Every structure is written in structure tokens, then in C-alpha cells.
Amino acid sequence: MVGILVMMNNYFHDFATALVVVCTYGMLMMVRYVERSGGEESRRMVLALYPRMVHLTGGSVVFVMLAGVVRAFTYGDYEWQSAVSNNQVAALMVKHVILFALFFYGLGLWVKVHRKIREFRMAQGKS
């Protein structure tokens, strides 16, 4: 039973990492659309959606951190042993490097989007 829970934790940990990138990239695409089109309706839509996307992305970041603690404590028994016995250590390392890079790329995009949203709000007279 514990093995199944650990496996689910690891799966959702990887999924949440991907969700961070997808959400922030989606926000960036919306912001860029508003910058190109310049429409007031588009700007209002992005400003209305941004807080909801922040909740989704922020929740994913928190989950990645919390599930990462569980994953770190169970890594040797549930992931490393399997990778060693199946000669997949290199693949496991590559996977973690890619997910680590994607997660921090997503955080970087979030910072970039947040700056643009702040500019949009200032242009509307909000702070």
C-alpha cells in the first residue's frame, strides 16, 4: 500500500512540475497577445484570469515542494533501487534534470508575466 502511495506521489509531483510550466507559458502567451493586439477587452480578460492562474500555478509550486519532501525521503527505496536493477540510472538522472530545468523555467516565466501584469494594472490606474 505504501508503495502505491509513493508511486502516486511521484506521478503527481512530475505532473505538478509540468503544470507550472504549462500555466506560466499559457499566461505568457495571453500577455503577449494583449501586447500585440492592444485591445482593452483582451487586457481586462487577462487581468481577470491572472489571479486564477496564480492560484493554480502557486498551488502546483507548493505541491511540488511538499511532494518533493516525500519523494526525497522515499527516493532510495522506491525509485533508485528500481532504476539500478533495470539499468536506467542515466534515464532517471536525465528525467530529473529536465524536470528541474522545466520547473525553474516556469518560475522564470511567472516572474516575467507578473511584471507585465503589473504594467497592465498601472496602465489601468490600479496598483
Spatial CA neighbour of 64 closest among 110, 111, 29, 102: 102
Report pLDDT digits (tens) over 52-110: 999 999 999 999 999 999 989 998 888 877 778 888 888 889 999 999 999 999 999 99
C-alpha cell at 11: 506521478
* Cα 35 to Cα 30, 77, 99, distances in angstroms: 9, 49, 30
Q: How confident is the model at residue 2 (pLDDT cuts 50, 70, 90)?
A: confident
pLDDT digits (tens, 9 = 90+) for 3-39: 899 889 989 999 999 999 999 999 999 999 999 987 8
User: Closest by alpha carbon to 18, among 71, 70, 64?
Assistant: 64
Contacts made by residues 46-50, CB under 8 angstroms, sequence distance 24+: 46/117, 46/120, 47/117, 47/120, 47/121, 47/124, 50/113, 50/117
Nearest to 46 by CA among 102, 119, 108: 119
